[in-house]
Amino acid sequence: MRPSQILRSSELPIGKYNHYLNKDTWGHLGCIQPQKGIITYQVSANRQNVLAGASNDAIFNTWRRFSKQVLYWAPPLLVAYYAMDWAIKRNEYLNSKPGRAETAGS
């Protein structure tokens, strides 16, 4: 999405370089004075431990999510497994010699 003509015509974009909308200059997109009272903090990228606790959180979060969802997919999975097992055994029986003899009359 392209910025509007008004945004492209201003000197500084809103929210960048400490210039924000000001209630005193309603209708003007960037005020000359930087906004006061906004404090930002940053941590240098090389000072962060991005994988801190990732393995521990992954284990417990995975267990929590699994235990909440297992009752939604495990029963249908078991029913489908036993239905397929019954169908395979029934098919093998009907294609065997005793099965053909049983269904020969019908």
pLDDT recorded at residue 97: 93
Contacts of 20 (CB under 8 A, 6+ apart): 14, 30, 31, 35, 38
Say if 2 falls within a structural domain. yes
Say if 106 falls within a structural domain. no
pLDDT in tens, 10-65: 555 555 555 555 555 555 555 556 666 777 888 887 888 888 888 998 999 999 99
Contacts of 6 (CB under 8 A, 6+ apart): 29
Domain containing residue 19: 1-41
Say if 104 falls within a structural domain. no
Total number of domains in the chain: 1
pTM: predicted TM-score of the whole model, two decimal places: 0.47
Quick check: 14 and 35 in contact, CB under 8 A?
no
Using the structure block, give the residue that is written with the tokens 């240098």.
44
